[in-house]
Structure 1
Amino acid sequence: MTAHDDTAAALLRSHRRRRRIRRWVAIGTLPLTLAALLVVGKILSMYAFAHQSITSYVVDDFAGSESAARGQEFLNWFEPYKAPYNIGTALAGAEELPAARAELERALDLATGLEVCAVRINLALVVERMGDAARADGDGAAAAELYGEALTLTVETPEECRSEEAQQQSPDPQRDMSDTLDGAEDRLKQKQQEQEQEQQPQEPEEQEQEEQPQPSDDKLQDLQDKLNQGTQERDQQQGDDPGGSGTDKPW
């Protein structure tokens, strides 16, 4: 065998050795490659589910919003609070208030830092709406208790939630967090006070007034017309003022 043949054989062995090394490197890095692809796919799917949940909520498709939000639950390592937050918000839009409260409370346990701001606001709004429902059903004691719970949630919201940084992370930039908290606090205090007054026993003078002769039908109709007019004016004012006595929509 000539020197040329020896060189060719050595070169061939070197190429074979390099191919074996590349093959083993490829096999060794395959799990990392698959993991990277899984992470990228998960991130993209999370954005897709979140976008679908938000867009469905905006058009009042609460069932679609809830369904998309539940797609965020699987292996959500990055923002674990987001799935129950979006689910709870969608359930609140559908007036499934107890279930919405349970999901938002789960989200609050998972949220950290400024993430708690929107969760606490929505949770307080849901509890307030539960109080409104109890009041409409004539359960004054439950309504007063729920208003108190909602007020506690609002008052105990961290001061950092009023910062510009928190506002930048708000799910609805058009609604100011600080104004929302202030409006909710004033509204809940008023509702709680009204409910407590309704629960107080009547004084003898009030009972005597109830026993007095009732006004005629014509006077009652005049009073009803005035009340209806005042209600319409108040509703118009509340429509212009999100901080009115009505309860805000979760966001």
Structure 2
Amino acid sequence: MTDLSTREGAAPAPADLRAAAAASLLASNRRRRLVRRWIAIGTLPLTLAALLFVGKILSMYAFAHQSITSYVADDYAGSESSARGQEFLNWFEPYKAPFNVGTALAGSEKLPEARAKLEESLGLATGVEVCSVRINLALVIERMGDAARADGDGAGAAELYGEALTITTEMPEECGSDEAEKQSSDPDRDMQQSEDDLEDRLKQKQQSEEQTPPEEEQPQEPDEQPSDDKLDDLKDKLEQGTQERDQQQGDDGGGSGTDKPW
């Protein structure tokens, strides 16, 4: 009787089938792991970029909120510090970081530094974003003019008022729109009313300084020189006082103390 397992074309044993299936499964798993590894490596930059994007957005909101909160609490140093945190990788709304820094510096009366930051912000702003920047910049320059006037520099004050007025009058027409109101850094401030009030105030201050004549220096009167008669009388009194003092010291047997001032 012939053994069927030795015949040509006979089916493999179950053990062989299981071994072949296991080897095929292992090879398939290795291929899948390799594919997943390369996918992970290929998408790693995108993943990191996405995490950085989300982190930047969250940090911007955090820094902006802290800056505003500190400013309202008159903590201008803290407001400036938080606003400077927005400057790192300043991709989104880039005008806001220097705007917040400049506003905080103005609160600390660092007016030249505040002006520089707000001018930087104005160069980065687009559309209705320029409205709030222009108003704050004009206000800072107005305060610089007030400081110059307090120091007696009327010409310098008038020049600064003129610069602030130019910034205000060149405000785009869109600054009176509802969209500009929504973009305002102060929701309680009416953009158009603030612009009108600022323009009127600057005109009055500039005209006042231009119309004020410069103070003329009063000629100093020469010191009155004493006459010859007065000089002679003073000399006689000095000599008489010296003689009386010497006579008193002689009567007392001579004094060893210093003379009192007279």
Q: TM-score, normalised by structure 2?
A: 0.74
Shift of 1:28: 1.5
5+ residue gaps, structure 1, are: 203-251
Shift of 1:4: 4.1
Structural mapping, 1:7-26, within 5 Å: 7-26=21-40
Q: Distance in 2 between matches of 1:162 and 1:31?
A: 44
5+ residue gaps, structure 2, are: 1-11, 217-262
Q: Distance in 2 between matches of 1:63 and 1:199?
A: 40
RMSD: 1.5
Q: Distance in 1 between matches of 2:24 and 2:52?
A: 42
Equivalent residue, structure 2, for 1:162: 176
Same amino acid, percent of matched pairs: 74
Equivalent residue, structure 1, for 2:42: 28
Q: Distance in 2 between matches of 1:137 and 1:152?
A: 23
The correspondence for 1:148, drawn from 162, 173, 176, is 162
Equivalent residue, structure 1, for 2:99: 85
Alignment deviations for residues 178-233 of structure 1 (CA, whole Å, 9 cap, x no partner): 0000000111111111111113799xxxxxxxxxxxxxxxxxxxxxxxxxxxxxxx
Secondary structure at the aligned position of 1:199 is classed as coil
Shift of 1:111: 1.0
Q: TM-score, normalised by structure 1?
A: 0.77
Tell me, yes or no, if the aligned pair for 1:101 and 1:127 is still in contact at 8 Å. Answer: yes
Structural mapping, 1:1-251, within 5 Å: 2-199=16-213
Q: Distance in 2 between matches of 1:153 and 1:138?
A: 24
> Which fold has the larger relative contact order, with Cα–Cα distance below 8 Å and residues 6 or more apart in sequence?
1
Tell me, yes or no, if the aligned pair for 1:62 and 1:94 is still in contact at 8 Å. Answer: yes
Q: Distance in 2 between matches of 1:191 and 1:34?
A: 55
Shift of 1:177: 0.4
Compare 41-50 and 147-156 and name the one that shifted more.
41-50
Shift of 1:53: 0.6
Higher Cα radius of gyration: 2
Shift of 1:12: 2.3
| 1:171 alignment partner AA | S
Alignment deviations for residues 60-95 of structure 1 (CA, whole Å, 9 cap, x no partner): 100110111111111111121111111110011111
| 2:114 alignment partner AA | A
Number of residue pairs matched by the alignment: 202
| 2:35 alignment partner AA | I
Alignment deviations for residues 163-182 of structure 1 (CA, whole Å, 9 cap, x no partner): 00110111111100000000
Secondary structure at the aligned position of 2:133 is classed as helix
Equivalent residue, structure 2, for 1:238: none
Q: Distance in 1 between matches of 2:211 and 2:41?
A: 75
Equivalent residue, structure 2, for 1:212: none
Shift of 1:15: 1.7
Q: Distance in 2 between matches of 1:169 and 1:83?
A: 15
| 1:117 alignment partner AA | C
